[in-house]
Homo-oligomer: A and B are copies of this chain.
């Protein structure tokens, strides 16, 4: 498998941490030297391994925020 180059530009927030030390974070990440995208993902301690996740554009993040604000949670 081709290596994926990424650069963690900014950690915006930590959403949770498992008892094994994996964290779910919202980050700004540049993949393969492209323009950075928002990224919601699980990470091993110190970001040495990445888990499942999803990238989001700024517009998608705004829609998601509005959806969450309309939920009764």
Q: Does A16 contact B (CB under 8 A)?
A: yes
- Do residues A68 and B65 form an inter-chain contact, with CB atoms below 8 A? yes
Q: From A70, which residue of chain B is reached at the shortest CB distance?
A: B13
Q: Does A9 contact B (CB under 8 A)?
A: no
Residues of chain B within 8 A (CB-CB) of A65 are 65, 68-69, 71, 73
Q: From A69, which residue of chain B is reached at the shortest CB distance?
A: B65
Residues of chain B within 8 A (CB-CB) of A57 are 16
- Do residues B71 and A54 form an inter-chain contact, with CB atoms below 8 A? no
Distance in angstroms from A31 CB to nearest chain B CB is 13
Q: How far, in angstroms, from A47 to B24 measured CA to CA in the complex? A: 26
Assess A63 versus B15: contact at CB under 8 Å? Given A42-B54, A52-B52, A53-B52: yes
